[in-house]
Amino acid sequence: MVHYGHSNQLRQAKAMGGYLIVGVHTDAEIAKHKGPPVFTQAERYKMVRAIKWVDEVVEGAPYVTTLDTLDRHTCDFCVHGDDITLTVDGKDTYEEVKKSGRYRECKRTQGVSTTDLVGRMLLMTKAHHRNIDSSNYQQHTDNFGKVCKGHSPWTGVSQFLQTSQKIIQFASGQEPQNGDTVIYVAGAFDLFHIGHVDFLEAVHGLAERPYIIVGLHFDQEVNRYKGKNYPIMNIHERTLSVLACRYVSEVVIGAPFEVTKDLLDHFKVELVCHGKTNIYPCADGMDPYAEPRRRGLWRTVDSGSSLTTDAIVQRIIKNRLLFEARNQKKEAKEIAMIQALKRREEEKTKERPQAVL
């Protein structure tokens, strides 16, 4: 997948230098070393390009990063998170560049992993809805749940904790300027994917100087109109996912479902856009976009993409056994590596000379 954890890593990496090149692996390479990918390589190439800290994307990058890889793309060093990345045979994919001193590390975003997100879709839980009553939570009861209970610090089922500092780091902090066209769009933007990117790119192209505000609905509101275990990502996670997109200027966290007169006036909105997807009615059955339609601000935008969050979930469910095996395999591999590192540290401790008092 491509999620806000990756965006946060790229944000940190960009701060270490002046130009950020991101290598994205092919589907075949990911399937070989980690298991089936959720998004296709074409989707991932475009999604990574849409992250605002990325300057260039290398398609089909090798899974093992070597000195030749860095030299070929005139890179001074490479950056990775402080988790473990292993080949199919258990080797560190950054071993060569680490030994040469051309490796730097950034902090992994605690509380999220592709494994965890896939687990949410497979298990159909609501435990990730931080602001839904706990009586609605379902327990993790199948084999996957038994494997992922925090044995590995990277792939265990976890909760992301939002902070004001994290929002500030992701936000542009720019107010609309004279001459900007303020455009408002709203929705769940769950499992931020290529369909969302295509839509926001199309909206961005509607004005010479667009200032796009995305209204994100609270988890309870999304669950009201979508049902099941939606949204897969909670409001805090969806906020960072959207803020990381280069086409987005601002996010309204917990936006009202109805686009009201007050909202339009407050943000001085000149255009309200929606994609070709269904428009759900308000809880009272009314049209949530009645006011912008009345003012002549309404625009339906065809992004040319048919991918939806539902389609992503169906990909997971259709290949349930493959994804369960992927998660269990990755967890087991990481646990084995952690145990090996622990034994190595214990052996080093034994070899050190003991002080005599």
- For 207, other C-beta atoms within 10 Å of its C-beta total 16
CB 67 within 8 A of CB 97: yes
- Containing H/E element for 27? helix 27-33
How many angstroms separate the CA atoms of 346 and 340, rounded?
A: 10
Minimum mean pLDDT range among 20-34, 73-87, 230-244, 268-282: 73-87
Domains 4-106 and 169-309 belong to one CATH topology: yes
Tokens of 282: 């308000």
> HSE-up of 290 (CA within 13 Å, CB side)?
9
How do residues 295-311 score in pLDDT, each as one tens digit? 999 999 999 998 999 99
Domains in the chain: boundaries: 4-106, 114-161+319-351, 169-309
Q: What is the reported pLDDT for 333?
A: 66
Residue 284 carries which DSSP code? Answer: T
CB 140 within 8 A of CB 229: no
Highest CATH level, class, for 4-106: alpha beta
How do residues 74-117 score in pLDDT, each as one tens digit? 999 999 988 777 777 778 889 999 999 999 999 888 777 777 78
How many angstroms separate the CA atoms of 128 and 112, rounded?
A: 11
Tokens of 30: 């990911």
Q: What is the reported pLDDT for 289?
A: 98
Torsion of CA 96, 99, 102, 105, to 10 degrees: 90
CATH fold label, 169-309: Rossmann fold (3.40.50)
- Containing H/E element for 225? helix 219-226
Q: With 60 as the cut, is the pLDDT of residue 35 above it?
A: yes
